[in-house]
Structure 1
């Protein structure tokens, strides 16, 4: 019974953390209601108490106030210090976050709750209507509010030889102007 209670408490903490993850993406997708209820579904959830993590896998879907996240798998790392505290959420397998006409895609997304950083890696693509931006990595600093897209698909500081040295590309729409004779 104690293990079941622990798992139930942990599941509630995961839902709270997913709400925080939604707020992180709200930096790109403005005006998201992070206080709204979070709904999630998956084919499987596995609580790994000894490893202090939860693995949610198989068609993972998370919804919160119009924000929709899908991935093949999510791993939630936590620690128990009286209550459950979520440290990090990793989503992998065609991660897609959508809200209205805005979409962020990547192979992997990492949300470091302690450092307040979100990183999307691998084939990153941001779309807003007809506007598109692609690169290898998207880094969102929730403290400064600064987002950076670069061509690297692995870690390392700018200018380092770690990871690929791809390029960032994009297409932006231009407002149509009518000229009068």
Structure 2
């Protein structure tokens, strides 16, 4: 798997129509080199050549330029134009992404290498230092250096409170 990446994710049956249109800014993965090689470790690999994909299962760990993705299963979609060019990674099952002090967890994730977008879906939790955010979906734009997290109307209490984004931001201690 040349070019590629690492982060993640799979569009689950969570309908985007159920997502709130109000978004809150979230922490960002800064200065990520999505052209760096991806190293992986998995219990098993299945190459589906006719479908142009590779399925990694069994406690998958993938790393790229300091970014680590862990999931039960990762599917890498590729095109084979004179070589393998990975263009998307879908991850499901206890997805965790870490880089530096940032940690994101979700049910599923999609990493679109062409657009440099990482989307985490379902029970999203984002932690950076003492800051914490919870929601249903987060989109991390690696080009723009911006993340957006949204809540869900579909299952009150499942992601955040009553479908809303929740969290805590720390404030520097000031002398009175």
Normalised by the length of structure 1, the TM-score is 0.72
- Equivalent residue, structure 2, for 1:168: 165
Partner of 2:128: 128
Q: Is the 8 A contact 1:122 1:153 kept in 2?
A: no
In structure 1, distance between residues paired with 2:153 and 2:120: 9
Once structures 1 and 2 are overlaid, which stretch shifts more, 60-69 or 167-176?
Answer: 60-69
Structure 1: 5+ residue runs without aligned partners? 1-11, 155-164
State the Cα distance separating 1:18 from its structure 2 match. 2.3
Say whether residues 1:18 and 2:5 are aligned partners: yes
**SS where residue 92 of structure 1 aligns?**
strand
Is the 8 Å Cα contact of residues 136 and 153 (structure 1) preserved in structure 2?
no
Corresponding residue SS for 2:5 = helix
Separation (CA, whole Å) in 2 of partners of 1:137 and 1:43: 28
Length, aligned pairs only: 151
Partner of 1:55: 55
TM-score normalised by the chain length of structure 2 = 0.74
Structure 2 SS opposite 1:124: strand
Distance 1:40 1:136 in 2: 27
- Tell me: higher relative CO, structure 1 or 2? Use CA pairs within 8 A at least 6 residues apart: 2
Higher helix fraction: Structure 1 or Structure 2?
Answer: 1
Structure 2 gap segments, 5+ residues each: 9-26, 155-161
Name which one, 1 or 2, has greater alpha-carbon Rg.
Answer: 1
